[in-house]
Amino acid sequence: MPVSDVELIRAWDQVLSLSGVRSGDMVTILTSDNTHPQTLRCATISAASCGAVVNRLDLPPINGEKALSRDSLAYLGTTPLTGNRAAMAALKASDYVLDLMTLLFSPEQQELLESGTRILLAVEPPEVLVRLVPTPEDRERVATAARIFEGKKAMYVTSKAGTNVRMPLGQYPVVQEYGLVDQPGRWDHWPSGFILTWPNEGEVEGTIVLDKGDILLPMKSYVQSPITITIKKGFATSIEGGLDAELLSEYMASFNDPEAYAISHIGYGLQKRAFWSTLSLYDREATIAMDARAFNGNFLFSMGPNNEVGGTRSTPCHIDIPMRNCSVALDDVHVVREGKVVEELHSTLRRVAA
């Protein structure tokens, strides 16, 4: 059901307030042909009502001739900012960039963040933004999960479907996504609510079995029959199964890039207001499926780039796979059991922190 401008402006007000937008801040709204007009309209009103100096930078879409899908995450790397010195100068001069275009996995984004600019991505439909508007409680929940990762050497993931994989940790930082850009140089995505990191390069070993109901992105499809992914030395070496496996294999092969098969970010969902089933209610072109990435208790793993955290892998192919009913352990500490977050662990850590 659509939401009113009043509801969406209130949501933007909350996000910008919690992100620290103040009078006199420079806020640039980054847009392109696929930007939702209501999101743009309400973001502009909200930022202006904060007393910010609001600019709009509209850039043409690219990569359409290369991508097999209209999804904004179907072909990564090159962006409308590549080689665009004027646009980069404007964004570096901004305190906040509201990304209504989708600027991800690019050296330009990293350069902007290193300059101190804060970047908030918000490209889901307005009704999703309102339902999943970030809160201080979301931030605390994700921060608690980040504390569990401290000092851990490996993530172990198992499932009754047959998943059994070991993912050594420590080479890359732990990333908290809770939908707010409350620190200089921070990137986040509204909506979100999950914890993630990248495993050590070349060290992931094991088998991942995608079961019926797990989700393939950017295909935005529910798996109908099991897919078995064998991982050796950090790379998927085989993808076996029925039609779903064939579709995934052909899509990845179309990039003709061996680095597409490297294990990328790994983590688990913490957002109680996100739902596994929501993807079935939307047209594929209307959403990038953040409910799927964030729903509470999922195991989210990906294949593809790692340049978001300073790695050198910048392949244009990026596959996200939220899985249900998995058990996730950090060393010997279980954080998810059969698709359910171990809430007692979170409660204990919050009491200790208090």
Domain ranges in the chain are 5-131, 136-353
Confidence of residue 66 (pLDDT cuts 50, 70, 90): confident
3-state secondary structure string across 251-289: HHHCCCCHHHHEEEEEEEECECCCCHHHHHHCCHHHCCC
Confidence (pLDDT) at 352? 63
- Residue 24 CA to residue 52 CA, distance in Å, equals 5
Percent of the chain with pLDDT over 70: 98
Contact 77, 314 (CB under 8 A): yes
DSSP 211: P
* pLDDT above 80 for 245: yes
- The helix or strand, by DSSP H or E, that contains position 37, with its residue range, turns out to be helix 37-49
pLDDT of residue 354: 57
**Predicted local confidence at residue 320, as pLDDT:** 97
Average pLDDT over residues 189-198: 97
CATH fold, domain 5-131, is Rossmann fold (3.40.50)
The residue-averaged pLDDT of 223-232 equals 98
**pLDDT value at residue 308:** 79
For 269-306, write each residue's pLDDT tens digit: 999 999 999 999 999 889 999 999 999 999 999 999 98
Going by pLDDT thresholds of 50, 70 and 90, the confidence category of residue 41 is: very high
pLDDT digits (tens, 9 = 90+) for 85-121: 999 999 999 999 999 999 887 889 989 999 999 999 9
Whole-number Å distance between alpha carbons of 163 and 153: 20
**Cα 224 to the center of its chain, rounded Å:** 24
Tokens linked to 193: 């609510």
How high is the pLDDT of residue 113? Answer: 95
φ, ψ dihedrals at 291, nearest 5°: -55, -45
Nearest by Cα to 303 from 256, 234, 238, 245: 234
Q: Do residues 177 and 228 touch, judged by C-beta distance below 8 A?
A: no
**75 vs 196, more confident:** 196
> How many residues would you count in the chain?
354
Instruction: Give the residue with greater pLDDT, 284 vs 127.
Output: 127
**DSSP strand E in 40-93: where?**
53-58
Degrees to nearest 5, angle at CA 318 with 335 and 243: 90
Q: Pick the range with the lowest mean pLDDT from 50-54, 77-81, 132-136, 339-343.
A: 77-81
pLDDT in tens, 303-354: 999 877 877 888 899 999 999 999 999 999 999 999 999 998 878 777 666 5
Average pLDDT score over the chain: 94
Q: Would you state the pLDDT for residue 132?
A: 98
CB 97 within 8 A of CB 118: yes
Q: Is the peptide bond before 218 cis (omega within 30 degrees of 0)?
A: yes
pLDDT attached to residue 162: 98
